[in-house]
Amino acid sequence: LALSNSTALNLLLSKLLQHYMEKTNSSAPSQASRASSSSLEIIYVLLVVGLFGFFTVAVMVTNVVARGAPGSPDPYHTYIATDLWHRKDREYLQAKVLESYRLCCVLENQLAVEQPAAHIPEEKAS
């Protein structure tokens, strides 16, 4: 007669529960409480170390993903690496300089122009 998995599991759990209840009802409760508190301490330490490890790994993975692969086709780096944009910028600058040169005009102040024939009076030092 073969027992099903659920029946075997129920028997195992009930035996564990009976064993635990016998230990707690025994005449030496101090040893049982000491054993359960030490197991709880171990579980607490493992939980703290596990959470620290989880957050450490998460930060490392986030950092690696943010940096990306060294040869990835990132549009920003592609923009910087190509000379096409620099050439277009240079052409645009040259067009702007030519346009400003065409709009430029020189106005001459006739009164400020040097006149070598005119005599500028000098003040005599006394």
For the chain, residues with pLDDT lower than 50 are 1
Note the pLDDT of residue 1.
Answer: 46
- Put residue 68 in one of left, alpha, beta given phi > 0 → left and psi -120 to 50 → alpha: left
Note the pLDDT of residue 59.
Answer: 94
pLDDT in tens, 87-111: 788 889 889 888 888 887 777 777 7
Report residue 12 CA to chain centroid gap: 50
Note the pLDDT of residue 111.
Answer: 74
Full-model pTM:
0.30
Note the pLDDT of residue 74.
Answer: 62
